[in-house]
Chain A
Amino acid sequence: MAVCIAVIAKENYPLYIRSVPTQNELKFHYTVHTSLDVVEEKISAAGKAMADQRELYLGLLYPTEDYKVYGYVTNSKVKFVIVVDSSNTSLRDNEIRSMFRKLHNSFTDVMCNPFYNPGDPVQSKVFEGMVSGMMVQVS
């Protein structure tokens, strides 16, 4: 399961970022931040091809020594980033995809809230709960 999940706005600032509490939070900030380079590159590359039928799932953005970073971008250019532990080899691509889909659905619910101001940090408890479910459970 994930060690860090982030939602990034169209303008590339974080709307939501959550990591497992045991580890240095700032490190994940750096990881997610730098992964945006790859996301942008992938979007611009994909944008040239087919804007309409673009695959939202960007796949593995880059592997680091300890983590694998996966990306997903919605049609409105909101990005989701999931960081998983490299040691977790049992995790399949399909599982990552389904995590992103869940994340996307939940984020759509957040956006549907008339009291949510697009561009503000996500503070929904439902969203928070869903993310917690996807995170590595730390005992």
Chain B
Amino acid sequence: MSCVQSCTSVPHSDEEMSVPDYMQCAEDHQTVLVVVQPVGIVPEDQFFRIYKRIASVSQVSVRDSQRQLYIRYRHHYLPENNEWGDFQTHRKVVGLIAVTTCASAKEWPQTSERFHGQKEVFGSTLYDSRLLVFGLQGEIAEQQRTDVAFYPAFDQCPDVEKRVEDFVESIFIVLESKRLDRATDKSGDKIHLLCVPFEKKDFVGLDTDSRHYKKRCQGRMRKHVGDLCLQAGMLQDALVHYHMAVELLRGVNDFLWLGAALEGLCSASVIFHYPGGTAGKTGARKPKQSQPADAGKRHRPGAQEVLIDPGALSANGISADTSTEIGRAKNCLSPEDIIEKYKDAISYYGKYKNAGVIELEACVKAVRVLAIQKRAMEASEFLQNAVYINLGQLSEEEKIQRYSILSELYDLIGFQRKSAFFKRVAAMQCVAPTIPEPGWRACYKLLLETLPGYSLSLDPKDFSKGTHRGWAAVQMRLLHELVYASRRMGNPALSVRHLSFLLQTMLDFVSDQEKKEVTQSLENYTSKCPGGMEVITLPDGLKLPPVPFTKLPIVRSVKLLDLPASLRPHKVKGLLGQNMSTASPFIYSPIIMHNRGEERCKKIDFQWVQGDVCEVQLMVYNPMPFELRVENMGLLTSGVEFESLPAALSLPAESGLYPVTLVGVPRTSGNITVNGYHTSVFGVNSDCLLEGLTNVKTGGCLVEVVPSLPRLQLTTSLPRSVNVLAPLSKEELSSRVSLQLFNGETQQLTITLENIGTEDIQSLELTSKMVNTKDKMYGEFLSWDLAEAGSQLPLKPGQSVAVAVGVRVKLDFSGQESLLQELNDDGISVTGLPISSPLRHVLKPRAEKSGGTEGGKTEYSHIKSLEAVLNFKYSGGPGKVEGYYRELSLGVHVDVEPSVFFTRVSTLPATSTRQCHLLLDVFNSTEHEVTVSAKNNQDLVLHASECQRMAIQVDRIDFESLPQREPDPQRYASAKQLEEERLRAQGCQINSKLGLCWTIPSLRRQGEASVEGVLNQLVLEHLQLAPLQWDVAVSGKPCDCDVVAQCRVGEAVELEVRLTNRSQGPVGPFALTAIPCQDYQNGVLNHELQDAVTFIGSNTFHIDAVKPQEKAVCAGALLFLCTGDFYLNIRFQDDSSSSGGRELPLSWFCLPSVHIKALDTPPEAGA
């Protein structure tokens, strides 16, 4: 652009108009200026009330004409500016309205004097003046005067507006007369030269008769008449005069006035084109000075607010009045021309250093026109020019005003960033170091207004989406300034808020050094005023939302933790099932899953318990280059009354992910939602809600809190162990004990359960579970009786109950290969162990290879472990009502050392068919001397690693009489298992019959020795009573191996053979034959006894089929013919075999042999 800039500074002089009116706009050229001023003492508020009412009369339709008069009111106007009134008449004060108070008539003369004094100030230019007197009553007030109006009070002046209108009319009359006077004054050869203040001295001594001078006078006068016409509402006339003035002045190179004429032309054209005005409705006015006046003027009745495109108007010929159309076409400038002429005018003004204010104002006016035309680029050029116009030394206030108006104008043309830039400059100007009393409040207010220009909102929510994208450097600077300004304003809360915001949103852009500085100053501020979560509302209504520090520390994941295993609530199964069935009739439906996916993924499938400490684990990290102290970190929850127990933590600099556990206690039951957490960092309290956080992983935040349950604490009589049971993790067991026992030993374990909760324990159950079942186990490992403990229920808080648990270990150590090896080598025949034992087959070769006897001793002392878990289920309180219980588990670990065991078992038949001898090779595998004892047998002392045989006479056992358990198909999956179970039961019975015990006197330990492991089928068969039991009675007396029945020769001896079937199936029919014989004790058996013994009847008995549990008896009689010892062999024939029945084992037919002594003399009693 071609504007010439005046860059050099000019000393301030009286001739210069120093204060630009930045509010001016093109249409102000058609207004007349009226100054309204208080005279004497007038209360300010009252004055402005009156001023407002006066200023409402901004436009007056003059009587008898179509013309309108526009009035601009000022309550403050510099007389220097008034002196430029000839140059542009709208700068001339033509009216004065003085407002005064006058309490009494005495004061009146003085008041009147003052009024006249006031008139003197603008005296040279005033057309008319008025005085409004308030408060005066009486005779003076009653006199009718045109220039003075009396009112009794400020609120009793109903006709002020009317008065002002009259006043305006009187001004109009003067104006009109002046216009006519000047307009028609063509013939006069002596035209007064109008000049601006600074020109006056230049024209001294100039040749007033020259043609050049005359033309100049004419031109200036034309221009002046144009101004008057414009003010008087004669737009077309004004245009004509301006055009003529331009021609005249251009001819004489009178650039200043040429510029004024061009500007006048522009103003008139703007008024024509844009009846709505160019100031814009949002143009911020200095409220006291001009707003009321402008407000009235901008809303002229009938004026079109919309922009009328002049081009469109002329093209379509909308205007009906052809004369104005022609006139306009001729004289009025087109919108493009207006700008061109403004440019010209400004460049002419620019030639004069003293016309800076005029130039600046012209620029502002042009910008307003361009804003209406939406030509932002050109407007920015005008503004750019305006920036460089030097007005000499401006006061600080003027600078602020200038920057503010530049900002407003940039805003007007849509240059938000430029606008913000200048507003910020203005803000900084408010607190420039040269200002004695810096206006921090104003500075702060202006800074706030720049926020949109830097696309910065003070709501941290706008910054939560991903990485921040903006002019970080510039925004940070602004925030720093806001912080500083608010601090200097004495509002630390604001400083804290802004600084928090800076830290939170700009963290990625702040250098490490700055981080330190910022946090340090933040801590300084918060020491005076801690930051919180409340919304700060500024006096102008701006709300500063709270800034939670979601990045200090940064939270990466939030995980709700289940209670420890011992406190976890379990739902009673039955009730759970009910709930399931009510939820949906389907076990699985993808549709429902889909619909409820959202809800489900949030709800967590474990429960918390009312009244118990619950944990939430956060993974956090510290982005700061120094240690971050987070205080008062706790959970924010909803749904359930929750007592948060805040934690304080200290995170090392630039820490990696760091687990933090936040705890709290739910006080009621229901569903609890963890919404977020609160922290206190650098003295700022933040509530960080999870929903606002990105990049946070949560496994759901909704968890059910079940009603309170009791708590049990478990202590045992044995020391705790740290051994972890193999398949169970440490967490699942609340406590563990371990003990060492010799095989067969029994130990009492006393478990004390104390109610450490707040609820009564109403139910208690105990179950156990073996953990490793590798080794074959005999008998119950753990046994207890809960009846006594149960009788103490309900258990009140603080009370405790003891439960005794017996620990009994019985393992089979006999299968140790090296041991067998060693024992086999000594040549004792092994009858007890079945040769086909798989163990032996596999292990024997290996033992041979090792060969050495040295390895043997160490190996058989190896220890076996037994592990089991005792589970206490307990419940009580409201949780029990809801069907919840808790489990407490105690791990029991027993290291079992071998004590004594039996390497071999064999049997020897005893004399009686009902007894037999059990031969046991007892091996002492301990390092101590052991005494082994059995029932009714003498003790056997064994030294360490000694093996001895002991023989025990045992009664044969009737296994069939064992309580047969119903074969449970689930428990014994196969026949093999069934068989094992049977064996086990038999072994158990044998064991109890034997009652084998060992004691280690040196250790005072004792236990049982079990033969169960070494028993095998063969031995068992030997030990077993035959299922068919034969009893032979001679003369009614039962007869067995050692019993000798006595009878007399010649007398018939009754013989009764009784069969009891104890087997499962029916047996028989059998045929029995009794054959007498005689033993000569020399190895000869004489069966030929037909002459010695005679059967009365048959010697063969037939027994029909005998059903189970039934008896069959057959009786016969014998007659001994001579004395002697006789034996009866009862032979047996199985008749059923011929009929294709099964083969019965031979042992079933183990019949007693009957020994009868036949005597001559009758037997003595008791012999």
Contacts and interface: CB of A to CB of B under 8 A. Distances in A.
Given A9-B469, A33-B471, A119-B469, A62 B384 contact: yes
Interface in A17-51: 25-26, 29-30, 33-34, 36-38, 41-42, 45
A29 B471 contact: yes
B486 interface: no
Contacts of A34: 415, 417-418, 421
B471 A38 contact: no
B640 interface: no
Contact of B415 (A12, A13, A14, A38): A38
Given A11-B469, A13-B469, A62-B384, A33 B377 contact: no
A114 to B, nearest CB: 20
A41 B418 CA distance: 12
Contacts, number: 49
Interface string B405-422: 000001000111110010
A119 B470 CA distance: 11
A62 B469 contact: no
Interface residues of A, number: 22
Interface string B367-393: 000000000110010001000100000
Contacts of A120: 467
Contacts of A30: 421, 474
Given A38-B380, A62-B380, A26 B477 contact: yes
B469 A33 contact: no
Nearest to A38: B380
Contacts of B384: 62-63
Given A9-B469, A11-B469, A45-B377, A37 B416 contact: yes
Interface of chain A: mostly helix, strand, loop or mixed: helix
Contacts of B380: 37-38, 41, 62
Contact of B474 (A26, A37, A41, A42): A26
A119 B467 CA distance: 10
B899 to A, nearest CB: 73
Contacts of B835: none
B473 A41 contact: no
A37 B377 contact: no
Contact of A33 (B388, B414, B417): B417
Given A34-B421, A62-B384, A41 B414 contact: yes
Contacts of B474: 26, 29-30, 33
A9 B468 CA distance: 13
Interface string A122-134: 0000000000000
A119 to B, nearest CB: 7
Interface string B528-562: 00000000000000000000000000000000000
Interface SS of chain B: helix, strand, loop or mixed? helix
B388, B455, B467, B469: most-surrounded residue (chain A CB, <10 A): B469
Contact of A41 (B377, B455, B469): B377
Given A26-B474, A45-B377, A37 B469 contact: no
Given A42-B377, A45-B377, A62-B380, A26 B473 contact: yes
Interface in B103-136: none
B417 A37 contact: yes
B473 A37 contact: no
Nearest to B468: A13
A14 B471 contact: yes
Contacts of B470: 13
Contacts of A36: 417
A11 B384 CA distance: 26
Given A26-B477, A34-B421, A62-B384, A41 B471 contact: no
Contact of A37 (B414, B467, B471): B414
Interface in A36-86: 36-38, 41-42, 45, 62-63, 65
B458 to A, nearest CB: 18
A120 B455 CA distance: 18
A14 B377 CA distance: 23
B339 to A, nearest CB: 15
A11 B467 CA distance: 14
A36 B376 CA distance: 13
A53 B454 CA distance: 32
Nearest to B467: A120
A26 B471 CA distance: 10
A11 B376 CA distance: 21
A26 B472 CA distance: 10
A46 B459 CA distance: 35
A57 to B, nearest CB: 16
Contacts of A63: 384
Interface string B439-454: 0000000000000001
27 contacts: A13-B471, A26-B473, A26-B474, A26-B477, A29-B473, A29-B474, A33-B417, A33-B421, A33-B471, A34-B415, A34-B417, A34-B418, A34-B421, A37-B414, A37-B416, A37-B417, A38-B377, A38-B380, A38-B415, A41-B377, A41-B380, A45-B377, A62-B380, A62-B384, A63-B384, A65-B388, A120-B467
Interface of A: 9, 11-14, 25-26, 29-30, 33-34, 36-38, 41-42, 45, 62-63, 65, 119-120
Counting from the closest, the 3 A-B pairs by CB-CB distance are A37-B415, A13-B469, A29-B473
